[in-house]
Amino acid sequence: MTTITLPAPAKINLFLHINGRRADGYHLIQTLFQFLDYGDELTFELTPGKPGVRLAQSMPGVADADNLIIKAAHALVGDALAQLPGVTISICKKLPMGGGLGGGSSNAATTLLALNYLWQLGHDEDALAELGLNLGADVPVFVRGHAAIGEGVGEQLTPANPPQDWFVVLKPECNIQTTKIFSAKGLTRNTPKMTMAPAFEGDASGYKNDCEATVRKLYPDVAESLNWLSQFGPARLTGTGACIFGRFPTESAARIIWKSRPSGIKGFVARGVNHSPLHQKLAEL
């Protein structure tokens, strides 16, 4: 097989608690990750006569060398890249950057798994998750491919099975850099650490995102969208924003709310899934 197309799904943080901060500035969190059946798509084409890894098209605003796809390829094989068959990678980008949906991290994880497969490197999941963590705190959950409670900086994962509900995801007109929120003065970092009880996964009433108050203050567009979506049930921020979501038991309930959104606001309807669409596709190869 010389060409494969694989999904790079979105994640949402059903809740996100900040429990403290490490000496290196990284935040200690407890979060519940779930995937969405919506995301980017990456196509990997082997080019045996042309060594190296390249993007078919650069991403606006991201230098190729900084692209997490290229970084993932280098992290995987380092200097051995020149000895391996070349690969051209095309991206169908749907996930907004700075959206809190983990687009860059998901692209990186898909690249790690795809190239491990195409180049027959034989790295196991633990090795790929460790490589992924050096690329970003969100990469390991995408490598492992199961909904999970994340602890530490998000890399200590315990598989979870939250209800696979439907979501209205809205993208207010702003991009939020994760560092801006994590370095904000007013951010609360003292939510007591929970002892995880499996029952908690099914009870969404206590779900909160500790970044919400800070994001509301800095980004009035996000606050406005949260206020609007909250009319129909609890609305939450994913990651450090800018996207927000409301959850609904059926697709039709979600679509009714989606259709009534304020004019001009972008977003989508998607289902929460506990098995990553990436892993489902890889299993079919």
Ligand X SMILES: C[C@](O)(CO)[C@H](O)COP(=O)(O)OP(=O)(O)OC[C@H]1O[C@@H](n2ccc(N)nc2=O)[C@H](O)[C@@H]1O
Ligand Y SMILES: Nc1ncnc2c1ncn2[C@@H]1O[C@H](COP(=O)(O)OP(=O)(O)OP(=O)(O)O)[C@@H](O)[C@H]1O
Q: How far apart are CA 33 and CA 15, in angstroms?
A: 8
Minimum CB distance to ligand Y smaller for 59 or for 204: 59
Applying CB under 6 A, does 132 fall inside the site for ligand X?
no
- Near ligand Y in 42-61, by CB under 6 A: 59
To the question of whether residue 101 is assigned a binding role by annotation, the answer is yes
Applying CB under 6 A, does 111 fall inside the site for ligand Y?
no
The residues pairing with 270 across neighbouring beta strands, listed in sequence order, are 167
To the question of whether residue 96 is assigned a binding role by annotation, the answer is yes
Minimum CB distance to ligand Y smaller for 177 or for 231: 177
CB 214 within 8 A of CB 221: no
| Residue 138 amino acid letter | D
Pick one of ligand X, ligand Y, none as the site partner of residue 27 (Cβ within 5 to 8 A by kind). ligand X
- Is 66 an active-site residue? no
Applying CB under 6 A, does 7 fall inside the site for ligand Y?
no
Q: How far apart are CA 88 and CA 15, in angstroms?
A: 37
Applying CB under 6 A, does 98 fall inside the site for ligand Y?
yes
Minimum CB distance to ligand X smaller for 16 or for 118: 16
Q: How far apart are CA 51 and CA 191, in angstroms?
A: 49
Structure tokens given for 42? 């990456």
Q: How far apart are CA 202 and CA 75, in angstroms?
A: 37
Pick one of ligand X, ligand Y, none as the site partner of residue 264 (Cβ within 5 to 8 A by kind). none
Applying CB under 6 A, does 102 fall inside the site for ligand Y?
yes
To the question of whether residue 105 is assigned a binding role by annotation, the answer is yes
Structure tokens given for 258? 């989606």
Minimum CB distance to ligand X smaller for 7 or for 102: 102
- Near ligand X in 163-182, by CB under 6 A: 178-179, 182
Q: Tell me the residue nearest to ligand X as measured from the CB.
A: 136
To the question of whether residue 194 is assigned a binding role by annotation, the answer is no
Pick one of ligand X, ligand Y, none as the site partner of residue 67 (Cβ within 5 to 8 A by kind). ligand Y
- Is 11 an active-site residue? yes
To the question of whether residue 100 is assigned a binding role by annotation, the answer is yes
- Near ligand Y in 230-249, by CB under 6 A: 239-240
Applying CB under 6 A, does 127 fall inside the site for ligand Y?
no
Strand 86-92 relative to strand 235-237: parallel, antiparallel, unpaired?
Answer: unpaired
Applying CB under 6 A, does 214 fall inside the site for ligand Y?
no
**Active-site residue, selected from the candidate residues 11, 40, 71, 165:** 11
Q: Give contact residues for ligand Y (rule: CB under 6 A).
A: 59, 62, 66-69, 95, 97-105, 107, 138, 178, 239-240
Q: Give contact residues for ligand X (rule: CB under 6 A).
A: 13, 16, 25-27, 29, 31, 100, 102, 105, 136-138, 153-154, 178-179, 182, 239-240
